[in-house]
C-alpha cells in the first residue's frame, strides 16, 4: 500500500511540473497511442533498449506483456491531439 502511495506521489509531482512547464497541450516528442490502422513502432526502438539476444523465454514473456503501440509526436501531428492522448 505504501509503495502505491509513493508511486502516486511521484506521478502527481511529475504531471504537475509538466503542466506548469508546457501547459495542457501536447508538445513535440510526446508519446501518444497509435491510431487503428497506422503502422506501429516497436517500443524497444522508442526506448532504445539495445537487447539483441533475447532468449525464447524472454520472447514469450514479452509477448504476454505487450505494451500498447505508441508513436512520437512531431510538429505536424500536434493538431487534433489532446493531453489525454499522451
At residue 1, the pLDDT reads 79
| Spatial contact of 58 and 3, defined as CB atoms under 8 Å apart | no
User: Using 50, 70 and 90 to split pLDDT, how confident is the model at 3?
Assistant: very high
pLDDT at 40: 54
Given this model, what pLDDT does residue 70 score?
A: 85
**pLDDT, tens digit (0-9, with 9 covering 90-100), for 39-86:** 655 555 556 655 555 566 655 555 666 777 888 888 888 888 888 888
What is the grid cell recorded at 74?
Answer: 512531431
What's the whole-model pTM score?
Answer: 0.55
Work out the pLDDT band at 18, boundaries 50, 70, 90.
very high
From CA 11, how far away is CA 56, in angstroms rounded? 34
Name the one residue in this structure whose C-alpha cell is 533475447.
Answer: 54
- Set of cell numbers at residue 66: 505487450
Amino acid at each position: 500500500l505504501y509503495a502505491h502511495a509513493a508511486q502516486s506521489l511521484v506521478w502527481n509531482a511529475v504531471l504537475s511540473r509538466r503542466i506548469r512547464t508546457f501547459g495542457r497541450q501536447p508538445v513535440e516528442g510526446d508519446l501518444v497511442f497509435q491510431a487503428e490502422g497506422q503502422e506501429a513502432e516497436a517500443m524497444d526502438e522508442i526506448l532504445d533498449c539495445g537487447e539483441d539476444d533475447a532468449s525464447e523465454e524472454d520472447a514469450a514473456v514479452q509477448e504476454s506483456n505487450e505494451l500498447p503501440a505508441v508513436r512520437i509526436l512531431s510538429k505536424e501531428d500536434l493538431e487534433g491531439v489532446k493531453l489525454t492522448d499522451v
